[in-house]
Structure 1
Amino acid sequence: MQVSMDDRTDDSAATFDEVEAFLAAHPDIDAVDYLITDTNGVLRGKWAPADSLKKAFETGINFPLSLFGLDIWGREVTETGLHVESGDPDGFCRAVPGSLRKVSWAERPTAQAMLQMFTDEGAPFFADPRLRLAAVVDRLAAAGFYATCAFELEFYLVDPDSAAHTTDLAPLLQGNGGPDRQNMYGLADLSDFEALFSDIRAFGTEQGLPIDTIVSEAAPGQFEVNLKHRADALAAADDAMMLKRLVAAAARRHGLKASFMAKPFFDWPGNGLHVHVSLIGRDGNNAFADPNGGEARHLAAIAGLMETMAASTLVFVPSWNGFRRLQPGSYAPTAASWGYNNRSVALRVPASSPEATRIEHRISGADANPYLVLTAILSAMLDGMEQGLTPPPPVETNAYESAAPSLPSTMLAALDEFARSDFIASAFGADYRDLFVAVKRAEIDEFLTEITPLERSTYL
């Protein structure tokens, strides 16, 4: 069975060995990037000298608890109660065992380590997204399961000069017909960026990221990098965060910007973050393929996801822009639907051998927080199995034309569903639900008070 988060973080001998082994293998390292994922899935942190590594793994690096009370722009949301009104105290961020890696693209010899937040009493801090996922992993373990997960991440490559001027933003695709045509799965488009994708693979190998396939996606300049399955939900989410950092860095080296914006172009498909999930039982086999109740367990997990989908939409689509991605016919779902081998549904059961039976969760945008996404998914699956739920019949044709219940179509509607959900309070904790609502309500208020250029050009 998978060990608990406390077991992994408190093993000081193991962490000491990790630091010693890493520094022995990389004696030239003189700096460390400390990385922690905030509420919005944005990596924050600090740079420090290499001699801080032992402290990071044993006692922790200080960061204010209010790091998790920031909006998408990095501004304080006072309604979270984490800022000056509380005295803005520090927490202690201990390095995640196994996360110490060399930063291959850095100009100076640099390492990176992921952090997670604990209070000064040593308790996991409730607002750390990684520790929210760790709590669900422990719930699954108590029920006799651990999750096998893999993320698929879509992004656009754009001209950074155009990206600085939003009215002129356009995908950048060199050669092979220009930016006005679709060339899904086009090998020529991959060849155009062969040097960039070679760097992504090389950096991934050096950092231990399980990069699998790379494909040209459904729009000019859009690509997808798939990660291999991990029999560890926390490691899978770590992979997704590190992949985004790596892709962005590799793109910069080639004079490009990698955009993970959920819907950067209205006439082209948005960027998704698809998640493949199966459960492994105590016998080490796929619990969905068990001849004694595996199919019923699989359907119950799907039913749990269906039951909680509207309440969880704000986690899967956490941005104002993200709701523009959920359009009929766009391969981004608009309804709580499921089906076998059907890419128009929200929950797809891919064609596979029985031992690879899984669920592909297709709702999240590329700007979603992977830790929160998996927290919602695994909690819903567990609830569905514990309650013995049964899903509606699968959608066999076009889900956009089915009678499946619609997902919230705006950020405000999604926030209302999230804020009143008992499931969310149970899966994330009521305190976390309130914090997330405060952050997202502040972001909504900002968009509602913005006068757009279109309004001025129309009415001024």
Structure 2
Amino acid sequence: MRFAPKSELDDFLEENPDIQLLEVLMPDYNGILRCKRIQRREFLSLFEGSFSVPKTVPFLAIRGDMYEGVDPAEIGGDPDQVLRPIEGTLVRVPWFDSPVAQVLTAYADGDEYSWIDPRSPLLKVLSRYSDSSLSPVVVTELEFYLIADGDGARPSPLLGRIPGTGLRQEGIQYCMADDLYECDAFLNDVRQACDIQKVPLTAIHSEFSPGQWEINTHHQSDPVLAGDHAMLLRRIVKSVARRHGISATFMAKPFADIAGSGMHIHASVYAADGSNIFADDDPILPPRLMPTLRHAVAGLGDTINQGMAVFAPNPNSFRRFKAGAFAPSGASWGYDHREVALRVPASSESNRRIEHRIAGADANPYFVLAAVLAGIHAGLERARDPGEPVAREADLSENTVTLPTRIDAAIKMFCEGDILPAYFGRKFVDTYAAIRQGESDDYHSRVPDLDYEWYLRAL
């Protein structure tokens, strides 16, 4: 991916002469697109490489706090950092009444990405693939909830109406046509926004839990671009929902009694001659799971625990992982089985791939893609075997959760890992861990209402 030249701005303004405002989108370590709106007279400075923002922006915590632990040699005095626009991302914003455009940016040092940019760990991993003459192809699948409009203290999922009544439909309604009908205006505006903003939407459907949806993009041979698409897609969904008087959330576990929302990654790897290295030259059914695929699965299994701080970045994220909650309980793998952590979907051999089902929808897509691809690459390098896959008929819904169940344990495993720090770089690992630990300490220092309900009268 390259930075956008000035000619891209000139062409865009010639085609869109009414645009007076530009939203500069800045990804941070939380997977949030921070935003600065600039006037037309400032557009040129961004495309000429002289536009800067505080270097601390990508390190802000989820509420905008700045926690201790980030190297003061990097952020002391809150210095400026140049932003560069990403080629092909200058587009109109369709959900505003005023003429506004947006562009995705990167933190840059000259003509290179700065180490502080959230894409940097993924770029480091991709350089390993290039050195091995391999090319990954990835797809993201995102789950989210639509939230009904309300003014109470707690949100409620947006449920479908039961015709002829004032009741709302509870229970499992996977791929319900009536949900598509009732949300048609919202879904159509999401589709149009994706077209305008060059996000290749492929499918959207209602999920198992009431009010939950899944939205998918097209596979990409450039994983950085896939990360960009996931970031932009979350912005599109949330913004269009607001336009329709509702809201959307990619929070991992917004409701205690129904399933959380995940971000599934499908990944395959291709050799220099264009062949899928996971494919069998002599396909049979059920398929033989080839040694290279098994090595990749083993690498992913080796990185699950040390990657949980990436896959589940917030204290809330870990609420997804409990028996029977439609989320993996441990480092299991298998063919065509949706309860495992690492699934090999049924497909043609040329499309043979691994689906990583652990990350929450709240995770930073760049970091998740980096961790998944690092695990696959490490598995190929180490040539370990993952053991036997879970049988297709096995019921895992009551399995004990063996994944880390608290963010503090996950942060420790991340810092002490033997694979991901080597792929990401120690500076990034220490910085990311400091942000996550700061948020955890802040979160757990608060006294919630539940403390009063349980303890105030009894103790």
Report the counterpart of residue 169 of structure 1 in structure 2: 155
* Alignment match, 1:417: 413
Task: Indicate the residue corresponding to 1:178 in structure 2.
Answer: 168
What's the counterpart of residue 229 of structure 1? 219
Listed as ranges, the matches of 1:79-118 within 5 Å are: 79-82=69-72, 86-118=76-108
One-letter code of the match for 1:377? Answer: V
1:132 paired with 2:126, answer no
Match of 1:155 in 2: 144
Q: Which residue of 2 aligns with 1:45?
A: 35
Tell me if 1:342 matches 2:340. no
Corresponding residue of 2:285: none
Tell me what 1:142 maps to. 131
1:246-300 CA-partner distances (Å, limit 9, x unpaired): 0011101110010111101111100111111111221223222263999222211
Contact 1:69 1:82 in 2 (8 A): no
Aligned residues: 445
Secondary structure at the counterpart of residue 5 of structure 2? helix
Tell me how far 1:415 sits from its aligned partner. Answer: 1.3
Q: What is the CA–CA distance in structure 1 between the aligned matches of 2:72 and 2:202, rounded to whole Å? A: 40
Q: Aligned letter for 1:131?
A: S
2:47 is aligned to 57
Which of 366, 369, 375 in structure 2 is aligned with 1:380?
Answer: 375
Q: Could you say what the CA RMSD is over the residues aligned between the two structures, in angstroms?
A: 2.1
Indicate the residue corresponding to 1:444 in structure 2. 440
Residues 283 and 55 (structure 1 numbering): CA distance in 2 closer, same or farther, change over 3 Å?
farther
> Is residue 66–residue 82 contact of structure 1 (8 Å, CA) maintained in 2?
no
* 1:220-265 alpha-carbon deviations (Å, 9 max, x no partner): 1111111111121011111100000000111011100101111011
Q: Which protein has the bigger helix share? A: 1
**Residues 301 and 381, structure 1, Cα contact 8 Å, conserved in 2:** yes
Could you list the runs of 5+ residues in structure 1 that have no partner in the other structure?
Answer: none
In the alignment, the residues of structure 2 paired with residue 90 and residue 82 of structure 1 have an alpha-carbon distance, to the nearest angstrom, of 14
CA contact (8 A) 2:139 2:217 kept: yes
Q: Which of the numbers 449, 453, 456 marks the counterpart of 1:457?
A: 453
Aligned to 2:8: 18
Aligned partner letter, 1:389: R
Q: What whole-Å deviation, never above 9, does each CA across 1:89-145 have from its counterpart, x for those lacking one? A: 1111111112111112222222111111124x6653222211221222222122112
Q: Distance in 1 between the 2:369 and 2:50 partners? A: 25
Instruction: Confirm whether residue 285 of structure 1 aligns to residue 258 of structure 2.
Output: no
Provide the secondary structure at the position in 1 that maps to 2:304.
helix
1:369 aligns with 2:355: no
TM-score, normalised on structure 2?
A: 0.92
Q: Any conservation in 2 of the 1:329–1:344 contact (CA below 8 Å)?
A: no
Match of 2:313 among 312, 315, 318: 318
1:77 aligned partner: 67
* Deviation by residue 1:144-188 (Cα, 9 ceiling, x = unmatched): 1222111111111112434xx43x321122403515322111111
3-state DSSP of counterpart to 1:278: strand
1:59–1:223 distance in 2 versus 1, CA, 3 Å:
same
Secondary structure at the aligned position of 1:288 is classed as: coil
Indicate the residue corresponding to 1:27 in structure 2.
17
Specify every segment of 5 or more residues in structure 2 that has no aligned partner in the other structure, as ranges: 283-287
Give the Cα–Cα distance (whole angstroms) in 1 for the partners of residues 113 and 189 of structure 2.
36
Q: Secondary structure at the match of 1:258?
A: strand
Corresponding residue number in structure 1 for 2:327: 332
1:275 aligns with 2:265: yes
